[in-house]
Amino acid sequence: MSVNSLIGGHVMVAGGLATGGLKYADEIGAEMIQVFVSNPRGWALAAGDPAQDARLRESGMPAFVHSPYLVNLGSPTPETLEKSVASVRHSLRRGAAIGALGVVVHAGSAVNRPKEEALRQVREHLLPLLDAIPDDGPDLLLEPMAGQGQVLCATVQDLGPYLDALDHHPRAGICLDTCHAFAAGHDLSTPDGVRETFDALHEIAPGRLKLIHANDSKDPVGSKRDNHENIGAGHIGAEAFAEIMRHPVAAGIPLCIETPGKSPEHREDIDLLKKLRTT
């Protein structure tokens, strides 16, 4: 059992990254937070407010940045690739400015071409970004997808070729989303499924898990559909999260909810995870 895994959520930042983010964190009882530092559904790169950055950095609240949803470093479209690289670079810079521990980036999709070709492109454009991360900057956390279409990484096993393409760069970490993993075929609803998933993660990518997106699933295992549900209200079930926190690979790894609703639903999800943390 891990009693020291911080539990928090993706927070709203209306009013300022620190002003809004820390206020919402307090409302939902978050021990850590995840934020967007620019429009999650656009390409505009927000400059940020140095005063807000400093306040968040000095608050001591452990923070992670989630890059925009449009980012796809495997895209065959030159414009999308160029904007994706710029967006990830911006997220890493902004993450460093607020003292973030990691920047989450979706693993991407080959769209309409061979995955091997797309992975070569990921290597070409992501390795320079990883090399440029300063010693005190955030790690880049690769988030496997739910398995839809030509995604480059969905299962834990897919992380092998992806990390190979990046030469197992020391600044490349992993953010595991429980809903994505479940949708991709990892049956986290059973103790055996949790054990097999996290044992495989240790074998394939030892020491690289840095964040868990704790989300239940509206759809059954293997659905390849990314539909988050509140903790305990979906097909994964609440007890699975206690099993996850008991697994040695997840010991001390922060859990961040991205569940439906706002407060009080988010407060209820976090309170439930805190109770499960002690079982």
Per-residue pLDDT at 1: 38
Share of the chain above pLDDT 70, in %: 99
CB 173 within 8 A of CB 130: no
pLDDT band (50, 70, 90) for residue 267: very high
Per-residue pLDDT at 173: 98
Quick check: is 130 in a domain?
yes
Quick check: is 185 in a domain?
yes
Quick check: is 252 in a domain?
yes
Largest CA distance in the chain: 50
pLDDT band (50, 70, 90) for residue 4: confident
Q: Residue 138 to residues 74, 98, 104: CA-CA distances in angstroms?
A: 22, 10, 10
- pLDDT tens for 39-68 read 999 999 999 999 999 999 999 999 999 999
- pLDDT tens for 204-225 read 999 999 999 999 999 999 999 9
pLDDT greater than 60 at residue 3: no
Nearest to 243 by CA among 210, 183, 199: 199
Tokens of 250: 């997840």
- pLDDT tens for 72-100 read 999 999 999 999 999 999 999 999 999 99
* Domain count of the fold of the chain: 1
Quick check: is 20 in a domain?
yes
Active-site positions read 41, 66, 69, 106, 143, 177, 180, 213, 226, 228, 258
- pLDDT tens for 93-118 read 999 999 999 999 999 999 999 999 99
Return the CATH number at 151.
Answer: 3.20.20.150
CA pair distance 178, 241, nearest whole angstrom: 9
Q: Domain span at residue 254? A: 7-277
Quick check: is 1 in a domain?
no
Quick check: is 230 in a domain?
yes
Tell me the Ramachandran region of residue 39: left when phi exceeds 0, alpha when psi lies from -120 to 50, beta otherwise. beta
Quick check: is 2 in a domain?
no
- The arithmetic mean of pLDDT across residues 26-51, rounded, is 96
Cβ-in-10-Å burial (0-12, 13-18, 19+) of 3 comes to: exposed
CB 87 within 8 A of CB 40: no
Per-residue pLDDT at 278: 82
pLDDT greater than 90 at residue 265: yes
pTM more than 0.95: yes
Share of the chain above pLDDT 90, in %: 97
pLDDT band (50, 70, 90) for residue 2: very low
Nearest to 39 by CA among 80, 87, 82: 87
Rounded to the nearest integer, the mean pLDDT of the chain is 96
Quick check: is 64 in a domain?
yes
Nearest to 214 by CA among 6, 13, 2: 6
